[in-house]
Amino acid sequence: MFIHSGIAHLAFNILALAYLGGYAERSVGIPRYILIYILAGIAGALFHSVIASYVLGSGHVILIGASGAISGVLGIAAAAGNARAYYWLILQIVFAIFGSFAAIPIAFTAHIGGFIAGVFLTKLFIGIERKKRAKYLRPSGNNNHDTWWGK
Protein backbone atom coordinates (compact mmCIF):
# COMPACT_ATOMS: atom_id res chain seq x y z
CA MET A 1 0.00 0.00 0.00
CA PHE A 2 2.98 2.32 0.36
CA ILE A 3 5.06 1.45 -2.70
CA HIS A 4 4.50 2.93 -6.16
CA SER A 5 5.93 1.99 -9.53
CA GLY A 6 6.85 5.52 -10.54
CA ILE A 7 5.93 9.18 -10.42
CA ALA A 8 2.88 8.74 -12.69
CA HIS A 9 1.52 5.98 -10.46
CA LEU A 10 1.99 8.18 -7.38
CA ALA A 11 0.45 11.17 -9.18
CA PHE A 12 -2.71 9.24 -10.10
CA ASN A 13 -3.12 8.09 -6.51
CA ILE A 14 -2.68 11.64 -5.22
CA LEU A 15 -5.22 12.82 -7.79
CA ALA A 16 -7.72 10.24 -6.51
CA LEU A 17 -7.15 11.39 -2.92
CA ALA A 18 -7.52 15.02 -3.94
CA TYR A 19 -10.79 14.12 -5.68
CA LEU A 20 -12.69 13.04 -2.55
CA GLY A 21 -10.15 12.33 0.21
CA GLY A 22 -10.89 15.47 2.20
CA TYR A 23 -14.61 14.84 2.07
CA ALA A 24 -14.08 11.25 3.24
CA GLU A 25 -11.85 12.32 6.12
CA ARG A 26 -14.36 14.90 7.35
CA SER A 27 -17.14 12.32 7.07
CA VAL A 28 -15.65 9.71 9.41
CA GLY A 29 -12.87 11.48 11.29
CA ILE A 30 -9.13 10.90 11.12
CA PRO A 31 -8.83 7.68 13.20
CA ARG A 32 -11.57 5.86 11.25
CA TYR A 33 -10.20 7.26 7.99
CA ILE A 34 -6.78 5.75 8.67
CA LEU A 35 -8.28 2.45 9.82
CA ILE A 36 -10.50 2.17 6.74
CA TYR A 37 -7.56 3.12 4.52
CA ILE A 38 -5.46 0.25 5.87
CA LEU A 39 -8.27 -2.33 6.00
CA ALA A 40 -9.48 -1.40 2.51
CA GLY A 41 -5.93 -1.76 1.19
CA ILE A 42 -5.73 -5.26 2.62
CA ALA A 43 -9.22 -6.14 1.37
CA GLY A 44 -8.43 -4.78 -2.10
CA ALA A 45 -5.28 -6.90 -2.30
CA LEU A 46 -7.17 -10.00 -1.16
CA PHE A 47 -10.01 -9.34 -3.63
CA HIS A 48 -7.50 -8.89 -6.43
CA SER A 49 -5.67 -12.07 -5.42
CA VAL A 50 -8.83 -14.14 -5.52
CA ILE A 51 -9.98 -12.73 -8.86
CA ALA A 52 -6.50 -12.88 -10.42
CA SER A 53 -5.80 -16.39 -9.20
CA TYR A 54 -9.14 -18.12 -9.65
CA VAL A 55 -10.90 -16.19 -12.39
CA LEU A 56 -8.24 -14.62 -14.62
CA GLY A 57 -5.42 -17.08 -14.00
CA SER A 58 -2.90 -14.30 -13.50
CA GLY A 59 -2.23 -14.69 -9.78
CA HIS A 60 1.53 -14.71 -10.34
CA VAL A 61 1.64 -10.92 -11.01
CA ILE A 62 3.14 -8.74 -8.27
CA LEU A 63 0.71 -6.24 -6.74
CA ILE A 64 2.04 -2.82 -5.70
CA GLY A 65 0.48 0.52 -4.93
CA ALA A 66 -2.28 1.97 -2.84
CA SER A 67 -5.10 1.07 -5.23
CA GLY A 68 -7.30 -0.75 -2.74
CA ALA A 69 -6.61 1.70 0.08
CA ILE A 70 -7.37 4.81 -1.96
CA SER A 71 -10.44 3.13 -3.40
CA GLY A 72 -11.52 2.50 0.19
CA VAL A 73 -11.30 6.24 0.82
CA LEU A 74 -13.56 6.81 -2.17
CA GLY A 75 -15.85 4.12 -0.70
CA ILE A 76 -16.06 6.24 2.46
CA ALA A 77 -17.24 9.17 0.35
CA ALA A 78 -19.82 7.00 -1.40
CA ALA A 79 -21.16 5.60 1.88
CA ALA A 80 -21.33 9.13 3.28
CA GLY A 81 -23.57 10.18 0.40
CA ASN A 82 -21.27 11.66 -2.23
CA ALA A 83 -22.52 10.28 -5.55
CA ARG A 84 -19.36 11.39 -7.40
CA ALA A 85 -17.52 8.44 -5.84
CA TYR A 86 -19.76 6.02 -7.73
CA TYR A 87 -18.66 7.51 -11.06
CA TRP A 88 -15.15 6.51 -10.19
CA LEU A 89 -16.28 2.96 -9.31
CA ILE A 90 -18.09 2.60 -12.63
CA LEU A 91 -14.95 3.76 -14.44
CA GLN A 92 -12.90 1.15 -12.57
CA ILE A 93 -15.34 -1.63 -13.46
CA VAL A 94 -15.20 -0.67 -17.14
CA PHE A 95 -11.39 -0.59 -17.01
CA ALA A 96 -11.30 -3.93 -15.16
CA ILE A 97 -13.34 -5.59 -17.89
CA PHE A 98 -11.38 -3.96 -20.70
CA GLY A 99 -8.05 -4.48 -18.92
CA SER A 100 -8.63 -8.18 -18.46
CA PHE A 101 -8.90 -8.59 -22.25
CA ALA A 102 -6.16 -6.12 -23.17
CA ALA A 103 -3.66 -7.34 -20.53
CA ILE A 104 -3.29 -3.88 -18.98
CA PRO A 105 -0.99 -4.28 -15.94
CA ILE A 106 -3.21 -2.37 -13.51
CA ALA A 107 -4.96 -4.12 -10.65
CA PHE A 108 -8.42 -2.76 -11.29
CA THR A 109 -9.89 -5.56 -9.21
CA ALA A 110 -7.95 -4.22 -6.21
CA HIS A 111 -9.64 -0.87 -6.82
CA ILE A 112 -13.06 -2.53 -6.82
CA GLY A 113 -12.35 -4.64 -3.72
CA GLY A 114 -11.02 -1.63 -1.82
CA PHE A 115 -14.05 0.45 -2.76
CA ILE A 116 -16.45 -2.26 -1.58
CA ALA A 117 -14.51 -2.59 1.67
CA GLY A 118 -14.57 1.20 2.18
CA VAL A 119 -18.34 1.33 1.74
CA PHE A 120 -18.91 -1.69 3.99
CA LEU A 121 -16.59 -0.49 6.77
CA THR A 122 -18.03 3.02 6.71
CA LYS A 123 -21.58 1.68 6.96
CA LEU A 124 -20.44 -0.59 9.81
CA PHE A 125 -18.83 2.29 11.71
CA ILE A 126 -21.87 4.53 11.13
CA GLY A 127 -24.12 1.78 12.51
CA ILE A 128 -21.92 1.36 15.59
CA GLU A 129 -21.87 5.13 16.17
CA ARG A 130 -25.65 5.35 15.87
CA LYS A 131 -26.08 2.57 18.43
CA LYS A 132 -23.72 4.34 20.84
CA ARG A 133 -25.59 7.62 20.45
CA ALA A 134 -29.00 5.98 20.78
CA LYS A 135 -27.86 4.37 24.03
CA TYR A 136 -26.93 7.75 25.50
CA LEU A 137 -30.02 9.52 24.18
CA ARG A 138 -32.62 7.10 25.51
CA PRO A 139 -35.03 8.48 28.09
CA SER A 140 -33.75 7.96 31.61
CA GLY A 141 -37.00 6.55 32.96
CA ASN A 142 -38.38 9.74 34.48
CA ASN A 143 -42.00 10.49 33.76
CA ASN A 144 -41.73 13.96 32.26
CA HIS A 145 -41.20 12.41 28.78
CA ASP A 146 -38.79 15.13 27.66
CA THR A 147 -36.52 13.37 25.19
CA TRP A 148 -34.21 14.43 22.42
CA TRP A 149 -36.99 13.88 19.85
CA GLY A 150 -39.58 16.00 21.60
CA LYS A 151 -42.30 15.76 24.20
Catalytic residues: 67, 111
Name the β-bridge partners of 147: 150
Contacts of 85 (CB under 8 A, 6+ apart): 20, 74, 75, 77, 78, 115
Task: Give per-residue burial for 33-56: e unless 16+ CB within 10 Å, then b.
Answer: beebbebbbbbbbebbbebbeeee
- Could you tell me how many helices (H) and strands (E) the chain has, helices first? 5, 0
